[in-house]
Amino acid sequence: MNKTYKTVASSQISIAELMQPLHSNFGGKIHGGYMLSLMDQIAYACASKHSENYCVTASVDTVDFLEPVEIGELVTMKSSINFVGKTSMVVGIRVEAENIRTGLVKHCNSSYFTMVAKDDVGKSIPVPGLVLSTLEEVKRFLKAIERNYTKRNRRIEFSSEDFVLDHYLKELEGYNIKLDL
């Protein structure tokens, strides 16, 4: 079987939406959950475009809300495939909000969604490889490998049956906690 490859650019997707009062919280800012929902939609669209299949969200990494989004701002989300594995893809998403009166644009969020391609019966299926055409694309691919490695080690460490609290007591010093085990 010949392996297929696609460029990063061939799967990139952008969406823009005007933020309305119905998307806001009591403080007049747009709900983080609403923003996550939009991000999940664009991650799905980008991953499905790359894989040419239905995709599901496997994980969401590094969701940092850098700036609040205000009612009336135009939010633009840009997505691209940063990494591909056998059946999974990491979709990088950049969120910007523009004040349409002043033209001021602010970076509100960057996040990484791991998506898995599925067939019609829900079984994970292989995805096309990725053609890296710029140094920035290579950097994003390598950063995704680094995040995957960190995530895998964290999962192994804290799910291990040989977890020893004493190994972490020094690390807990200085935090506003009281251990009552």
Q: What is the CATH number of the domain that holds 24?
A: 3.10.129.10
- The full DSSP string for 92-159 is EEEEEEE-TTT--EEEEEEEEEEEEEE-TTS-B----EEE--SHHHHHHHHHHHHHHHHHHHHHHHHH
* Assessment of whether the complete model's pTM goes beyond 0.75: yes
pLDDT of 2 reads 57
101 within a domain of the structure (yes/no): yes
167 within a domain of the structure (yes/no): no
Judge whether residue 1 has pLDDT over 60: no
User: 152-181, pLDDT tens digit by residue?
Assistant: 887 777 676 777 888 888 989 889 998 888
- Range(s) of the domain holding residue 127: 5-132
157 within a domain of the structure (yes/no): no
122 within a domain of the structure (yes/no): yes
Judge whether residue 140 has pLDDT over 70: yes
140 within a domain of the structure (yes/no): no
10 within a domain of the structure (yes/no): yes
Q: Which residues fall within 8 angstroms of residue 74, CB to CB, at 6 or more apart?
A: 16, 17, 18, 19, 97, 98, 100
Q: Give the chain's domain count.
A: 1
170 within a domain of the structure (yes/no): no
